[in-house]
Structures are given as structure tokens and as C-alpha cells.
Amino acid sequence: MQGWVGRATGPLMGTVLVVSLTASCVTSGATKSAGEPTRPPGPLATASPTSPATPSAAPGVSRAGVPTAAEAATVAAIIDGDTLAVRGRIAGKVFTSTAQITVRLLEVDTPETKHPSKPVECFGAQATTFLSQIVPVGSTVWAVPDVERTDRYGRDLLYLWNANGAFVNLEIVRTGHGRAVLYEPNDRYITPIRAAEAEAKTAKRGLWGACSATSSSLPASPSPSASRLPSASPPAGGVYYAGCSDARSAGAAPIRSGEPGYRGGLDGDGDGLACE
């Protein structure tokens, strides 16, 4: 019996020794020097993978409200209130290269400032200044096309959003710096743009307050031939062109009397053929 007890005592003492050493190691490992960070309990955190940057994105640019299909470009120059030059960031579906192109904003028309045969129209300078403020040279814009991509002059027809996500085409009309104009078949946003025009008219913003009903669609200093034309008469077919440049951009010029878009204000010599 005494020998059995001695044999039993050996394993028990070994067990006690192992437990004691284990406790000592745990206690020693948990003890940190002052200022040393303590690892939080649980499994080690793994770094989440970083998504590759979108090539067309720009740092610090908000895309809130911008269509997902839009592509980024950099503003290169402001030409007038509804025309500018941009460079695409990458070659994609909207911009086929990074070369500089001229953009004519869709569904909006601003008073003329650079027409080869017309003086600056009422509120034209203000419209150009507004565009340079909402999309400054060097800033980012986001672009989306419609059905027809270019006009007869080779200009790209686009809708633009600025770096803050503001819809540029609509803002020009909403602030009274331009009018809503339908360039069929490009009619994707014509409903909200027309609503913005109605709001601007009611509030007499911009050209609706600064220009008279006739001078808003004619040069600031009308020519004698234009002053005797019935400019207040509605355009034929419900189609409105603010100037001959817009009629040409839409591929409608020359416009004969009775055809959609014809009005006396575009027929300078009164011969029944406008924008010849």
C-alpha cells in the first residue's frame, strides 16, 4: 500500500508542476510594460483589400446625382454660354480619346456672343461668365450623350455635371442664363429643363428680367430689317430656334416659311427663307 501511494504521488506532483508553470507563463505574458499596446482579444484583424481606383475618377470630386454611365473630363476652355472645350480623362464610351473636343450643351440655348455676323445678344456675356463659374477651366465635369452624338459642325452634343454634381444644362436654364430648346431626337432631360425654364420665367431670373420679350431672342442692337419683323409671332410647328446657329446645329437650315422652326426673327430679309 505504501509503495502504491508513492507511485501515485509522482504523477500528481507532475500535474501540479505543469499547472503552476502554465499559470506563470500566462501571467508573465499578460504583463505589459508601461505604454506598450495590448492586443485586443479575438482573432487577428486582416487588412481589407483596397479597390483599384477608377481611372476616370478625380480626387475630391463628388458624384452624387451623376449618372453611373457618365465619364470624366477636364474643362479646357469656355467658348460661350452653352459651348466649351474639354479633354476626356480616358478613352471610353463617352470620350473615344483624350484629345480636346468642343462640346455643345444639349437642350439649352444661351444668347449669342460669338456669332460672325451678329452683335452680342442681351445677357450673352452674363451667360458666358456663369458657365465659366459653374465649370471653371481645369475643373472636372461628367458627361453623358443622348441619341445623336455630334452636330453638323462636329461638336459633341452632351449633358454635363460639374465637380459638385450639379446638372450644368439644367442650372443654366434654372438661373435664367439660357432657354430650354429641344434638339430632337435628343430629349432625355427636356421635361425637367422645361420646368426649370418655367420657374425662371415666373421669378424673372436672368434674361427673363433683364431682357424684353423681343430683345431676349434678338441682338442687343437689332438691325433695321429685323426691327420691322413680327418677332412676337410664334414659331411654326412649335419648334423654337433662338438663332440661326441653333437651326444649323439641328440640321434644319435653311427654313422655309411654314416649316417647323420658321419665324420672322430668323428671316432677316423677309423673303420667306430663314437662315439661308
Q: Mean pLDDT per 10-residue run, the chain (276 residues)?
A: 46 43 43 42 36 41 84 96 96 95 97 83 95 97 96 94 96 97 94 97 96 51 30 51 73 78 71 75
CATH topology of domain 71-216: OB fold (Dihydrolipoamide Acetyltransferase, E2P) (2.40.50)
Whether 155 is catalytic is yes
63, 71, 89, 104: the catalytic one is: 104
pLDDT at 247: 73
pLDDT at 251: 73
Instruction: Pull the grid cell for residue 257.
Output: 416659311
63, 89, 155, 263: the catalytic one is: 155
pLDDT at 98: 96
Segments making up each domain of the chain, as ranges: 71-216, 223-276
CA 108, CA 123: separation in Å to the nearest integer? 15
71, 107, 112, 197: the catalytic one is: 112
pLDDT at 163: 94
pLDDT at 245: 72
The reported pTM is: 0.58
Whether 104 is catalytic is yes
Asked if 217 and 124 count as a contact pair (C-beta separation under 8 A), the reply is no
